[in-house]
Amino acid sequence: MADLADTSFSGRALRRRTFLRVASATAASSALVLAGCGNDDDDPTPVPNGSTGTLVLAGNDTGILNLTYLLAQIQASLYQKVVTTPPADFTAADTAAFVDMRDHEVIYREFYKSVLGTSAYDNGLTTALEFNFTTYTLTTRKGAYEAARTLEDLAVGAYNGLGRRLANSSYLRLLLKITSVKARHAAFVRDQAEPNSFAGPDVISSTGNQAGLDTIKTPVEVAKLLAPLVPVVLVADNLMTL
3 within domain boundaries: no
220-242 pLDDT per residue, tens = 999 999 999 999 899 999 999 99
Transcribe 30-99 into DSSP letters.
HHHHHGGG--S--SPPPPPBTTBSEEE--SSHHHHHHHHHHHHHHHHHHHHHHHHS--TT--HHHHHHHH
233 within domain boundaries: yes
Give CA–CA dist 111/31, Å, rounded.
Answer: 6
pLDDT at 215: 80
Q: What is the pTM of this model?
A: 0.79
Q: Give the pLDDT band of residue 8 (cuts 50, 70, 90).
A: very low
Q: Give the pLDDT band of residue 50 (cuts 50, 70, 90).
A: very low
2 within domain boundaries: no
Q: Report CA Rg, the chain.
A: 18
- Structural domain count, the chain: 1
Bridge partners of 55, per DSSP, are 234
Give CA–CA dist 211/204, Å, rounded.
Answer: 7
pLDDT at 46: 45
Lowest mean pLDDT among 21-30, 75-84, 140-149, 232-241: 21-30
- In the chain, the amino acid numbered 173 is R
96 within domain boundaries: yes
pLDDT at 18: 47
| Percent of the chain's residues with pLDDT above 90 | 61
List the one residue out of 71, 45, 29 whose CA is nearest residue 159: 71
| Percent of the chain's residues with pLDDT above 70 | 72
- In the chain, the amino acid numbered 194 is E
23 within domain boundaries: yes
Give CA–CA dist 114/7, Å, rounded.
Answer: 42
- In the chain, the amino acid numbered 190 is R
pLDDT at 219: 97
Average pLDDT, the chain: 80
Question: What is the pLDDT averaged over residues 184-213?
Answer: 76
More confident of the two residues 37 and 55: 55
More confident of the two residues 214 and 91: 91
H-type helices in the chain, by residue range?
9-34, 61-84, 92-116, 141-162, 169-193, 219-226
Question: What is the pLDDT averaged over residues 16-30?
Answer: 46
4 within domain boundaries: no
pLDDT at 125: 72
SS3 233: strand
183 within domain boundaries: yes
More confident of the two residues 145 and 25: 145
Is the pLDDT assigned to residue 68 strictly greater than 80? yes
Give CA–CA dist 175/125, Å, rounded.
Answer: 26
Give the residue numbers spanning the domain of 140. Answer: 9-241
Give CA–CA dist 221/30, Å, rounded.
Answer: 28
71 within domain boundaries: yes
DSSP letter (8 states) at residue 214 = B
Question: What is the pLDDT averaged over residues 150-170?
Answer: 94
Give CA–CA dist 149/190, Å, rounded.
Answer: 6
List the one residue out of 143, 125, 145, 142 whose CA is nearest residue 134: 143
pLDDT at 197: 76
Is the pLDDT assigned to residue 153 strictly greater than 70? yes
pLDDT at 227: 95
